[in-house]
Amino acid sequence: MVAPVIYSVVLSVFATRKSGLGFGGAPETGFVGIENYVTVLASESFLAGFGRLAVYILLYLPSMIGGALVFALLLDSAAALLKRTFQLLLFLPHAVPGVIAALIWTYLYTPGVSPFVKALESGGITVNFFSAELVLPAMVNIAVWEWTGFNVIILFTALQAVSREVLEAARVDGAGALRTAFSIKLPLVAPALGVSVLFTSIGSLQLFTEPSILATASSAVTPTYVPNMWAYDAAFNRLDLHQAAAASIIIAIIAGAVSFFITRINSKGAGA
């Protein structure tokens, strides 16, 4: 893990330029310090990618975590005979590789192919999931479909560890199902919920697969739509590995800061 990070840091403080005033001279690589970082942070397309990523997280985090929590609480209160079946059904989408999931949903968003779009059109509703307004929510939907089941398993496992004696005492005291869920179960599984939020936040910062696949069908998704796509475009389209390395380090630093912040909040909550 350490060696690639060190190599990326080294790449990020160098730049390759052509000598001879651009008249066919051999390219030369030289030390430029933080110049690549300044260039990346001054890029409007890179910063715009973080803006889209922020909107994505605001839509995705509460939708997925909220849905996973509701499903986990329902599973915890459901008949024992059905728990295994519902766990499997909820987890199956997560077993589908991310690229395949994005392709499946791209088909389901495509007019003339999608039964959903056809059903809406038959009702007089025209929806273009590839438009600039809806393509980001379309990505959120793919991620929610793929990752909700994974987080349900985490939260359901934590719920299974809750003392049955505590729950029985709550029932004896007259607490109903909703009161038990939100006043007893939810506080006791807060650490597991914090882990889900942490994993989801880090995963959101790594957003790449969904926009890359949807870019083949939507002109609204540019090659620099999100930060990871910006780094990929710099490395393999513009062939500037040094700026790509700088962008990657910036993304990694932000992910580390977010992880530290969420971990501190979880630690304070556990201490309380």
- Maximum alpha-carbon separation in the chain: 86
Q: What is the pLDDT of residue 179?
A: 86
CATH architecture of 2-271: Orthogonal Bundle (1.10)
User: Is 115 a residue whose pLDDT tops 70?
Assistant: yes
Q: What is the pLDDT of residue 69?
A: 95
User: Is 271 a residue whose pLDDT tops 70?
Assistant: no
In Å, what is the CA distance from 199 to each residue of 100, 144, 151, 190? 21, 13, 9, 14
Residues 6+ apart with CB under 8 A from 240: 16, 234
230-269 per-position pLDDT tens digit: 999 999 999 999 999 999 999 999 999 999 998 888 877 6
At 71 the three-state DSSP class reads helix
Under the banding of pLDDT at 50, 70 and 90, the label for residue 171 is: confident
User: Is 22 a residue whose pLDDT tops 80?
Assistant: no
Q: Which position has the higher pLDDT, 267 or 93?
A: 93
pTM for the full predicted model: 0.91
Average of per-residue pLDDT values in the chain: 91
Q: What is the pLDDT of residue 140?
A: 97
Q: What are phi and psi of 233, to 5 degrees?
A: -65, -40
Under the banding of pLDDT at 50, 70 and 90, the label for residue 33 is: very high
CA atoms within 13 A on the CB side of 237: 9
In Å, what is the CA distance from 202 to each residue of 80, 111, 215, 227? 34, 33, 22, 13
37-57 per-position pLDDT tens digit: 999 999 999 999 999 999 999
216-229 per-position pLDDT tens digit: 999 999 999 999 99
Tokens 């500037």 belong to which residue?
240
38-43 contact pairs (CB < 8 A, 24+): 39/243, 39/246, 40/243, 40/246, 40/247, 40/250, 41/250, 43/230
Residues 6+ apart with CB under 8 A from 232: 208, 212, 223, 244
Under the banding of pLDDT at 50, 70 and 90, the label for residue 174 is: confident
Tokens of 70: 């509701």
Q: What is the pLDDT of residue 265?
A: 85
Summarize the confidence of residues 26-30 as an average pLDDT: 83
Provide, rounded to the nearest whole percent, the portion of the chain with pLDDT above 70: 94
Q: What is the pLDDT of residue 25?
A: 64
Of 50-59, 99-108, 114-123, the one with minimum mean pLDDT is: 114-123
Q: Which position has the higher pLDDT, 271 or 152?
A: 152
* Entry field: residues in the chain: 272
Q: What is the pLDDT of residue 28?
A: 84
User: Is 20 a residue whose pLDDT tops 60?
Assistant: no
Summarize the confidence of residues 159-176 as an average pLDDT: 87
Query: For the chain, which residues make up each domain, given as ranges?
Result: 2-271
Cα torsion 126, 128, 134, 140: sign: positive
Q: Which residues pair with 30 in a beta bridge?
A: 15
Q: What is the pLDDT of residue 37?
A: 97
